[in-house]
């Protein structure tokens, strides 16, 4: 079984496999690992590093024609992938069900790494958590670079500088990493989330928890947040506004899989915020948590800089690729049996992660998405 690794299209800088992963992949059952020319360039990995590690450097055309299993973080064009191939990517099928359908109809077997279930066993394969770790960290650094003041408190001969006030919206993986990073930089941090479980985690990191009573918390949602009532949203908007107008930095990370991101910073709030403050919106690709957010752009509203970027993991390409590749290796340990990919849908991890196989959609959450669209 030959594994082919594609080069990502710019501006993506990550690569799904680093040279350090090659031997481990071969030990798991791949006879050869083929890597597209310059695939690791943006992560500072030369083709020669891959060859030294035992991979074979090839053209994209050769990989697409000859490899049975194809890896790419961003989903390649459907026209590039032939039927019968196994594509392992990050398709985000809950937001792109039509793409999933196109690949299924073509007879491509697709595993989407963002569909790995949130079970203890699957944690080591969870690329969403790994990439959220990178994004939460980098979001705070981006904010610090844009902010016209210091993060920490300074007591100097020229007077005392008060620390930056940081508000984190959404205390999942990215939010918790943002809290840790902002604390390390010396900011005064508070955070808000709809899930009750988040409170303890926020407090354990030394941040304050902003609490809105009456959230709908559905433990059957597999660790994810669910849509809230209108009445709750109004109370939430008022409380967030109260905290936002005192903040220097707001990091937005709140998301609901397959849905538009909740709008947490209204236009009115932006106009009451301090000029010079910074919002980093990691939910930008699904509409953003902030009224002024534009995906992949930095805009200024009332002197407030709003950085819309849902792919900050790509801006730390080396360590993000390192984690992504390790997640893949752990996933392959689960799905390779007797030197081949095992489509064992009795296995929860394989069942949930497999978007399409033999012409059909497989993942239960993607199937649910189709039934909610058609009903």
Residues lying near ligand NAD in the complex (CB under 6 A) are found at 118-120, 122-123, 126, 128-129, 132, 169-175, 192-195, 197-198, 223-225, 228, 253-257, 262, 264
| 224 annotated active-site | yes
The distance of closest approach from Cβ of residue 88 to ligand NAD in the complex, given in angstroms and rounded to an integer, is 18
Choose the catalytic residue: 43, 72, 112, 129: 129
8 Å CB contact between 193 and 217: no
Point out which residues pair with 191 in neighbouring strands.
168, 209
Residue closer to ligand NAD, measured from CB, 65 or 196: 196
Residue closer to ligand NAD, measured from CB, 174 or 354: 174
Residue 160 to residue 325: CA distance in whole angstroms: 46
Residue 239 to residue 201: CA distance in whole angstroms: 20
Question: By C-alpha distance, which of 292, 14, 246, 297 is closest to 130?
Answer: 14
- The first and second tokens of residue 152, run together, are 């920490």
Please list, in sequence order, all residues whose beta carbon lies within 8 angstroms of the beta carbon of residue 372, skipping any fewer than 6 positions away.
Answer: none
Residue 235 to residue 214: CA distance in whole angstroms: 10
Helix (H, G, I), strand (E, B) or coil at 360: strand
The distance of closest approach from Cβ of residue 372 to ligand NAD in the complex, given in angstroms and rounded to an integer, is 18
Is the peptide bond prior to 85 cis by the omega test (within 30 degrees of 0)?
Answer: no
To 10 degrees, the CA torsion angle through 203, 208, 212, 218?
Answer: -30
The distance of closest approach from Cβ of residue 264 to ligand NAD in the complex, given in angstroms and rounded to an integer, is 6
Rg (CA), the chain: 22
| 118 annotated active-site | yes
Residue closer to ligand NAD, measured from CB, 85 or 138: 138
Furthest-apart CA atoms within the chain: distance in Å = 71
Provide the 8-state DSSP code for 276.
Answer: T
Cβ-based neighbour number of residue 294 at 10 Å: 14
Choose the catalytic residue: 114, 126, 193, 309: 126
Choose the catalytic residue: 51, 62, 224, 319: 224
| 123 annotated active-site | yes
Residue closer to ligand NAD, measured from CB, 47 or 227: 227
The distance of closest approach from Cβ of residue 73 to ligand NAD in the complex, given in angstroms and rounded to an integer, is 17
How many alpha carbons lie under 13 Å from residue 45 in its C-beta half-sphere? 29
| 13 annotated active-site | no
8 Å CB contact between 230 and 205: no
The distance of closest approach from Cβ of residue 121 to ligand NAD in the complex, given in angstroms and rounded to an integer, is 8
8 Å CB contact between 352 and 112: no
Tell me the CA end-to-end span of the chain in Å, nearest whole number: 41
Nearest residue to ligand NAD, scored by beta-carbon proximity: 172
Residue 46 to residue 39: CA distance in whole angstroms: 8
Choose the catalytic residue: 60, 68, 118, 319: 118
The distance of closest approach from Cβ of residue 218 to ligand NAD in the complex, given in angstroms and rounded to an integer, is 11
Residue closer to ligand NAD, measured from CB, 39 or 265: 265
The distance of closest approach from Cβ of residue 127 to ligand NAD in the complex, given in angstroms and rounded to an integer, is 10
8 Å CB contact between 138 and 312: yes
Choose the catalytic residue: 31, 59, 82, 123: 123
Residue closer to ligand NAD, measured from CB, 171 or 179: 171
Residue closer to ligand NAD, measured from CB, 174 or 273: 174
Catalytic residue numbers, as ranges: 118, 123, 126, 129, 224
């Amino acid at each position: 079984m030959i594994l082919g690794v594609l080069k990502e299209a710019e501006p993506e800088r990550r690569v799904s496999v680093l040279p350090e992963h090659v031997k481990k992949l071969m030990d798991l059952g791949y006879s050869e690992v083929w890597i597209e020319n310059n695939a690791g360039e943006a992560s500072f990995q030369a083709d020669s590093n891959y060859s030294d590690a035992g991979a074979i450097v090839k053209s994209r055309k050769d990989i697409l024609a000859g490899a049975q299993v194809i890896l790419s973080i961003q989903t390649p064009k459907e026209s590039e992938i032939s039927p019968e191939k196994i594509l392992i990517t990050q398709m985000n099928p809950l937001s792109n069900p039509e793409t999933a359908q196109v690949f299924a109809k073509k007879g491509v077997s697709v595993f989407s790494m963002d569909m790995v279930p949130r079970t203890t066993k699957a944690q080591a394969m969870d690329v969403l958590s790994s990439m959220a770790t990178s994004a939460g960290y980098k979001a705070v650094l981006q904010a610090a670079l844009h902010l016209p003041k210091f993060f920490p408190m300074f007591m100097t001969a020229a007077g005392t500088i008060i620390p930056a006030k940081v508000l984190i919206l959404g205390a999942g993986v990215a939010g918790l990493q943002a809290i840790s990073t902002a604390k390390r930089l010396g900011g005064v941090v508070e955070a808000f989330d709809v899930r009750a479980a988040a409170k303890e985690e926020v407090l354990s990191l030394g941040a304050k928890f902003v609490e809105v009573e009456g959230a709908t918390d559905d433990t059957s949602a597999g660790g994810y947040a669910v849509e809230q009532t209108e009445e709750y949203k109004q109370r939430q908007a008022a409380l967030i506004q109260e905290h936002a107008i005192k903040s220097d930095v707001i990091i937005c990370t709140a998301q609901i899989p397959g849905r538009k991101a909740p709008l947490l910073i209204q236009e009115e709030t932006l106009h009451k915020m301090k000029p010079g403050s910074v919002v980093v919106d990691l939910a930008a690709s699904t509409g953003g948590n902030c009224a002024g957010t534009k995906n992949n752009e930095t805009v200024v509203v009332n002197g407030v800089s709003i950085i819309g970027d849902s792919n900050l993991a790509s801006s730390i390409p080396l360590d993000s690729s390192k984690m992504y590749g390790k997640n893949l290796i752990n996933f392959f340990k689960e799905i390779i049996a007797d030197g081949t990919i095992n489509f064992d849908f009795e296995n929860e991890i394989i069942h949930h992660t497999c978007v399409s196989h033999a012409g059909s959609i497989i993942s239960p959450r993607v199937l649910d998405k189709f039934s909610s669209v058609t009903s």
